[in-house]
Structure 1
Amino acid sequence: MLHLRMIVPADRTEEVATLVSATVGATHLTVVRGAAYDPVGDLLTCDVAREAADPLLAALRKLGIEDAGAIAVENVDVTLSRSADQAERDAPGEGADAVVWESLVEATHEESTLTFTYLAFLTVATMLAAYGVMLDSSILIVGAMVVGPEFGPLAGVCTGLVRRRGRLVARSLMALAVGFPAAMLLTGGFSYLMSGLGLFTQARFDAPHPATQFIWQPSWDSFVVAFLAGIAGMLSLTSAKSGALVGVAISVTTVPAAANASLAISYSTWHEVWGSSLQLAVNLAGIACAGTLTLLAQKWLWAMQRRRVPAA
């Protein structure tokens, strides 16, 4: 279930209350007159089944509640109520399959913004991956993959394309276009520092790296893995199963490829620069394509499911 908290102008309260009452899957409607001071209005709350939330939110936006008042949405972990159980049974489809588009847009908007924190995580992840390449350590490579925040902007691109939100697409592309070059530049400086300290050497970089050589050797396997990871990642976001994102993070080699390219530039190993850059591009493209197609498929399947339940 999801919990909605709304501030509604007094002259729109009855209209909103009627809308919520008529929504299949909504229950626990509460109205507190004159409770809100900023903005001024009445306070309305309700619980709604996840699979019924998106149509209700869309209707509230059409009424202009977000402009004249406010709408807050929270996840409800446990609800002990026969009314709530009945609402979930009445709502069409399954909650795990439903996409709450407004929630997805809001989440990807936050994760795809170019911030200092985003750049810091991406840079640290790239530096960790650089150390993993030098030590030929798959453990460090996996750790760097988990730390990397690049899936957020990729999800923002997918969501923006499907929802036709040009600003979200532009913001996400900016985070990727600025983030990776900045992280690679700083990692290049980090490699020079480590070389000065004697921790990184040309001989160590040129030595065989059986555990990490896949980073700069792209193939169709790379695209397929990235494509599958993109599907899993988008499903984890839309179904609120964030634990699956860890598996997505350690399935693709975006951050390790960027790290290897930085090291290769530092040591003028140009064939690895090309291979790593291509690996990075292949992974980014695979995730973006898969994520967009997954959202389109979910949108179509959910529309078909709702058509089979006219009462919804």
Structure 2
Amino acid sequence: MLTALDEEGIDYAVWEETGRGDFEALLSFPIPESGVEPVLEKLETVGIREDAYTIVLATETVVSERLTKLQKRYDGLRISREELVARAEDLAPARSTYIAFLVLSTIIATAGLLQDSAATIIGAMVVAPLMGPAITASVGTVLGDERLVSRGVAFQIFGLALAVAVGAVMGWLLKDTFLLPPELDIRTIPQVAERTSPTFLSLFLALGSGIAGAISVMRNAGSALVGVAIAVALIPPAATAGLGLAWGYETVAIAAGTLVLVNLLAINLSALVLFYLAGYRPVEDPTYDQQSIRRNVLKRLGGIIAGMLLLSAVLGAVTVGEFLTSNVDLELQNEAQAMLDEPGYEGLNFEGTTTEFDFVRYVTNENYEMEILVGVEEGATVPPDLAQQLDDRLSEATGAENLTVRIVFLDEQVSD
């Protein structure tokens, strides 16, 4: 073993073992963080696993010319395989702690949703412990550790199901109480609506969070802050799904639940791919089948991607719907403004609309009402059939067959 260290040019110190007598000596040597894995692999070839154990400790300062040379040789940025496993296990807390933090973060996030408070929701994410299970599952997959995989997957599924249940119970308890406005429609709350109309842009948060989580663990930097980003992608939509169940809005629960699942798969996908590309593999051991591990990784990647593609059909439909809705709504408003700008309508000004465009009613030819604000300057003449004229003009321009136009007049005074 000492010969192997000499060949690598590594300084070391040896003390005689004075414990129970199970070992002959204690060996200590400094090595750059990126050199831990290759040096341990070399020591394993000379039998370190057979009659010794290894402790990897962080070192504050080492003054050594030989260490400088080692730093140039081992100039990688990732930690060793053994340290990765240790950090992944540290990120996944005990079950009772995990449940307590998850319940508390969901309660705070649900309150933030009902108050339409982004600050409260972000504050709840600091408490959420969801980064650990996602990273643990990915680490276990690339290293062939089924124990880590099963624990990470189980914690994620159980945790998000619990978050939905907590959101539903809290919504049921608060609904119709003095703490909330009477007849509150949660679909009108912007923070809730944001999670019930998921588009492909939602994936960028999840994919970015998964990549950032993997990088932070590999390089031991900013894990706490990255955990907030991962939690933002999961806890608020899970709480929104719970509120949808509490209020009996199936569309809210389904849309938010879809967003949770897509984000969960995206986080696991990006973390798994990054760990694999970083070169993490199971320890070189006869008991491990490297080809089997590679097939396992590819099989899980395939399953995740298939799930994402299936759920992305919902995101795609919403994305296309949002795009078409914006286009038709803009066309209706532009056409109304163009008509009122014509000479025959002098003194009448288009001020906007007060109704939210309903694209579903528009494409299904159901009766759809559009309320238009029209400013009337002093002395202007208002045609008695202005609403019908606007109706005919907008219907002809956009093909809306069952459009009903309602006009709200605003008295205006214009200075010279």
TM band (smaller chain) = 0.7 to 0.9
The answer as to whether partners of 1:121 and 1:149 remain within 8 angstroms in 2 is: yes
Alignment root-mean-square deviation, CA: 2.5
User: 1:262 and 2:242 equivalent?
Assistant: yes
Offset at 1:126?
A: 1.1
Cα distance in 1 between the residues matched to 2:15 and 2:57: 19
Cα distance in 2 between the residues matched to 1:205 and 1:163: 48
May I ask how many residue pairs the two structures share in their alignment? 279
Which residue of 54, 59, 74 corresponds with 1:71? 54
Residues 81-137 of structure 1 deviation map (CA, whole Å, 9 limit, x = unaligned): 333223212x2333xx22311111122123236511011111111111101110000
Which residue of 250, 254, 261 corresponds with 2:229? 250
Query: Partner of 1:80 in structure 2?
Result: 63
Q: 1:278 to 1:207 in 2, by over 3 A?
A: closer
User: 1:115 and 2:71 equivalent?
Assistant: no
Residues 39-59 of structure 1 deviation map (CA, whole Å, 9 limit, x = unaligned): 544211111111211112234
Cα distance in 2 between the residues matched to 1:17 and 1:40: 15
Point out the structure with max Rg over C-alpha.
Answer: 2
Which residue of 114, 128, 135 corresponds with 1:155? 135
Offset at 1:212?
A: 4.5
Offset at 1:259?
A: 1.0
Q: 1:196 to 1:31 in 2, by over 3 A?
A: farther
Cα distance in 2 between the residues matched to 1:50 and 1:60: 16
TM score, norm. by length of structure 2: 0.61
Residues 135-179 of structure 1 deviation map (CA, whole Å, 9 limit, x = unaligned): 000001111222211111111111111112122111111111222
Q: 1:64 to 1:151 in 2, by over 3 A?
A: farther
Q: Which moved more, 1:68-77 or 1:270-279?
A: 68-77
Which residue of 53, 74, 92 corresponds with 1:92? 74
Cα distance in 2 between the residues matched to 1:40 and 1:200: 68
Query: Partner of 1:11 in structure 2?
Result: none
Cα distance in 1 between the residues matched to 2:17 and 2:157: 48
Larger RCO: 1 or 2 (CA < 8 Å, sep 6+): 1
Cα distance in 2 between the residues matched to 1:248 and 1:217: 24
The answer as to whether partners of 2:168 and 2:244 remain within 8 angstroms in 1 is: no
Q: 1:207 to 1:65 in 2, by over 3 A?
A: same
Residues 242-261 of structure 1 deviation map (CA, whole Å, 9 limit, x = unaligned): x2541452364201111111
Q: What are structure 1's unaligned runs of at least 5 residues? A: 1-15, 301-312
Residues 209-268 of structure 1 deviation map (CA, whole Å, 9 limit, x = unaligned): 224522232221111221122111111110111x25414523642011111111111111
Query: Partner of 1:58 in structure 2?
Result: 41
Query: Partner of 1:21 in structure 2?
Result: 6
Q: 1:92 to 1:201 in 2, by over 3 A?
A: same
Q: 1:196 to 1:214 in 2, by over 3 A?
A: closer
